[in-house]
Amino acid sequence: MTYRLRDFRFDEDFDLARRFLGDTFELTGEHYTWVPSRLENEKHGQCGSEHSPEDDKWIKIWEHVDDESPTIVAVTILKSNGYFWINVHPDHRALVKEIVPAIEAQRKQMSKAEEEELKIGTPVPISFKSRIAHLKELGYEEGGVCEHNRIRPLNLPPPEFQPPEGYTVRHVALSEDFEEYRKVLSAVFPHCTSMTENLVRIYTEAEFYNDDLDLVVEALDGSFAAFVTVRIDPISRMAELEPVGTHPDHRGLGLGKAICAEGIRRVQKYNPSCIVILGAASTESAVRLYDSLGFSKEDVHLWKKII
């Protein structure tokens, strides 16, 4: 088989790559971090900085070119910290042996000169046996659990958790609630302090975004105490709870359970093909929260190497 590696261009390639990710899930039933909404968030994320064509350089597409019309068989993502992800079609899994060295070369090319020791790593679910075997052959070592993949069975009734007295769950009106929204997200994710009203506007233009699924818990004083967004890709209907968080001043009250439960209840009308939290935190509190909501748990281990 003949393959071609090429650059990813968001405006031209997103829909093709999104369909590839959804089709791969449908074929395999495997849950991997880069669901369509996670890819779309590269351009439409509400935190960080505004997307530029330069950001696309971290994403690559592998195509099968034996036929008249090239078809995507893999999408890879490398982050500046050296972590990478490989989404590959099940009929082309052996291609991983070529993809990993290509990502290592990409890491060397894009690394900062001041990095004394060039590290690279990839989070891999423990069920990905062939991926793990390939990584071992290529000199990678297992570095322990780094996160969890969480899947909620579709036949499980939505949870009934409600917020305690004095707190209300509602959908956020970002044009009016921007400052409180930024405050609560920043309290959990410090990089969200850079959120701007323009980034929020771009966020609401994402195809995964529905304002009735962007939820906050409001305290009596009008401040926001917790948040969750249920992103659902309109093509694959894969639903992802991302981001999720509770302000440090309001933890231990069951607000995380209440707001996630409301999100799960509301997303039902969109007929999701799955409900997931991929790359979920492995902290004790996160484990308790997602267990209580009925999510299964799969360990994701970091496989790492010095190149």
pLDDT tens across 5-60, in order? 999 999 999 999 999 999 999 999 998 889 999 999 999 999 989 999 999 999 99
Residue 277: what are its φ and ψ, rounded to 5°? -130, 100
Domain coordinates of the chain in residue numbers? Answer: 3-146, 167-299
Return the H-helix or E-strand segment holding 300: strand 296-306
The predicted structure's pLDDT at residue 67:
73
The predicted structure's pLDDT at residue 85:
98
The predicted structure's pLDDT at residue 254:
97
The predicted structure's pLDDT at residue 116:
76
Q: Is domain 3-146 given the CATH code 3.40.630.30 in the classification? A: yes
- Identical fold between 3-146 and 167-299: yes
The predicted structure's pLDDT at residue 261:
98
How much of the chain exceeds pLDDT 70, in percent?
99
Strand ranges, E, within 126-223: 141-152, 167-171, 214-219
Residue 103: what are its φ and ψ, rounded to 5°? -70, -40
pLDDT tens across 134-175, in order? 999 999 999 999 999 999 999 999 999 999 999 999 999 998
Q: Which whole-number Å values give the CA distances from 116 to 104, 282, 307, in the listed order? A: 16, 29, 11
Per-residue pLDDT band at 198 (split at 50, 70, 90): very high
Q: Considering the entire predicted model, what is its pTM?
A: 0.95
pLDDT tens across 78-115, in order? 999 999 999 999 999 999 999 999 999 999 999 876 67
Q: Helix, strand, or coil here: 189? A: coil
The predicted structure's pLDDT at residue 4:
95
CATH superfamily of 167-299: Gcn5-related N-acetyltransferase (GNAT) (3.40.630.30)
The predicted structure's pLDDT at residue 31:
86
- For residue 69, pLDDT over 90 is answered with no
**Mean predicted lDDT score pLDDT of the chain:** 96
